[in-house]
Structure 1
Amino acid sequence: MELRHLRYFVAVAEEGGFSAAARRLHVVQPTLSMQIRDLEHELGGPLFDRAGRRPRLTPAGQAFLVEARQVLAQAERARDTARSALRGETGSVRIGVAGAVVFGGLLAGLIGEFHQARPLVRIELRETGPLAQRTAILAGELDVGFSALAAPADEPRLASIPASSVSFLVALPAGHRLAEHETLTVEQIDGEELIEYITGDGDLVPHGVRRYGADPPSSPARFRGDSTLSVLALVAAGAGLAVAPAGVDRAAVPDVVYRPLAEPGLKTDFHLLHRSDETAPAVAAFVRACA
């Protein structure tokens, strides 16, 4: 028994005759009649009473019609579901992120546009450090990641595309003497207590400056945080200053003020990491949307 047998049977039942059903199905009547007889032979009895001018459903045919319609409807749903999945309209995308990306507005904008275009795709965010993102993507635990580190050249299984470039801010405790300045320089914050950011990979990034080419301030850091919010909490507590990518000022943390770090060329680039041979349609669609 094939789906065409069910379609042919339902057409004859709904049209009330073989000629009308053949026209509806765009097949010749002898072919349709033969297919119905094959179906009846497989089932072991007649589905139509052919004694009159118009075929009528037998009791078995009436029972079979209910089930046949359900099977055809389910087949249609299965087809539509598969087509949606192949077009990347369903499925899921697991995204590794860092706080700076969230606060910077980049992530919200990309996800908002993607969700509007593909509302049935599930989105899952996980706060994950740069190196951990690479490992998780390769292990299939994440699909993509927003990172300050591009895909390494010696790892062909990973690829990356530029996502954004942002400058830096200095987060200060409210009332700090440097808050009276509209902008700050590395020289001005040299000697201040600066809070280290732990990426989650065991890597320490002193106040975000060393990685991006400026000379780090000379004073050692005594305080550390493993997320943007924990770093800002230490700033609010008066433990020190922190340098972070612009956008963190959107986090309304009490007792913290922000000043731009006026260093020409001092920026951080964010990249979207993904698998080079990505086959999941929803993930591939998300990568294309970010390109």
Structure 2
Amino acid sequence: MEIRQLRAFVAIAESGTFTAGALRVHVTQAAISMQIRQLENEIGARVFVRAPRHVILTEAGEHLLRRARHILREHDAALDEIAELAGAERGRLRIGSASAMVLTDQLPVILTELRKQHPAAEIAVGSGTSESLVEQILAGELDIAFVSLPVDARGIQTERLSEDQLVAIASPKHKLAKQKTISAYTLAGERLILGERGGNTRRLIDQFFAQAGVTLHVAMELSRQAAIRRMVEEDMGVGIVPLQSVRDEVEKGKLVRWWIEGAE
């Protein structure tokens, strides 16, 4: 049983498909399939059952996943300790970010300073949802990540770096454009333009409205905040987004912003 096989197995188990798993460990789908076959031959049991759009862990796979995560954490910790003996300037830092704003604005500045202080250090950066990044930390694949709180996982230390707030946005042409606040129940009657399921903002939106006992009418699900803003500007519906992402458009009068009653 090899470390690369365990990394491949964990990557597929967490991402849900062989294709996504191969992308995570930077190999071809054929190569990762071969690693899993070799792993199954060695342990004498199947670890996955293939479904139409994803894979399902077998009972043996579920047991192996817990062990594999532990083995990989210990393996990476040993490598890090040895690297420290050689000096911090030759260490490794693997960073993940669930925030496009962090990746675009803050992180380049941070990494530039790190490069100046530790020019020989190996620094890797990746992106994903908060949930997937937390799983990668637990699996020993990341050292640190910028995610949305709360994080419900043992063994993860968190520190609040900044705060944002969900707001509703609409075109200035909207009939309620002059309002300052809006209720969850009023939003439920609107054609909503939201981010895709699985994203951090969408997770918080779904949690908020589930707690309010409200069912939403989602007209569009888009992967990028810029696309949501443009659709709302054209009065195609109402959006719910982080306040920081629409400050410029609100100040320029392209969008109106409503505070959502009960949202933090």
User: Looking at CA atoms only, which structure, 1 or 2, has the larger radius of gyration?
Assistant: 1
Higher relative contact order (CA 8 A, sep 6+): 1
With normalisation by structure 2, the TM-score equals 0.50
Looking at secondary structure, tell me which structure has more helix per residue.
2
User: TM-score scaled to structure 1, two decimals?
Assistant: 0.46
